[in-house]
Structure 1
Amino acid sequence: MLGVYDLLTSKGYAVFCDWIDAPEAGRSQITPANAAFVRATMSVSDTLLLLDTQGADQSLWMCWELGWFDGARARVAVLPVLSESERYYRGREFLGLYPYVELDADGRLKVVPPVVAGPSGIRIIEAPNSTGFDSWRDDPSDTMRPRVVGGYGR
């Protein structure tokens, strides 16, 4: 977490991480006051990067934050945090709805659309395969969400 926080702030992004920026918020307990604090913080943010770590699914807040931000702002991406032994992001359940952020060979952030499989299981890759993080944040029409293809939703 600290490495991602340092990376993003070193690139000039304003980053909010509750346990760094507001440790007194007491988010270990789900209360209406804590939820109001989280909602107020997210309401002044333009992007949510969900850090998918090995322990992310244990979070009491992850699904609620993701759902609130997706509905309110729609600018959501997954930033996978891989262990030293992992080479590729594995994805997880509904997080596959969102693009993910990675570093390119030059250390720049890029946004990659989620991998989508058609009804036959064939992977569908749409162009562009990625876009710069700032371009993605600045284009309100480009959420990089997977399109519905034949056979889905029936």
Structure 2
Amino acid sequence: MTQENGDRPTAALASRHLCTVEFEVGGGLIAIGASPFGEQRLGYVTGGRFFGPRINGIVLPGGGNWSRAGRLEGAASVGTFDARAVWQTDDGELIYLSYTGRSIIPDDVRATFADPAIPDADPSRYYLRIAPVFETASAKYGWLNGILAVGVGERTDFGVRHVIHEVL
């Protein structure tokens, strides 16, 4: 890095709320097991909805999240996401969504996730972040093809909820 580049101010990172999506994960998680690459699981998306200031609709069944889990030092698990879904807007347009992400969940919180009788854990006690991208043939929603988004997630009794922000 030259001195000239070092003196330039860095661009500020800004965002605005794009939407909130609630993924229904029917049937729970399918534990594929621990391979040499980590503990693999699949969560099948059975439906859901998304809503925001510029985009609203339903999550079509058939998507899923292929997650992989491992361990951090201490009493927490770490995970990665490889998720895909198709959204249908209220006006009938289709949007393909894919995302990666990370989670860090302390063992005591993970134990509550496994028992449906225990109320949902406070989202401030765990870390669930995603980086979605969108693809659509829709002229109306074509602006989605050019954005990167980030989201903060939380486990719910029906699956997962992500509050997604467009990075400006």
TM-score (ref. length: structure 1): 0.26
Rg larger in structure: 2
Q: Which structure would you say has the larger RCO, counting Cα contacts within 8 Å and 6 or more residues apart? A: 2
TM-score (ref. length: structure 2): 0.25
Q: Name the structure with the higher helix share.
A: 1
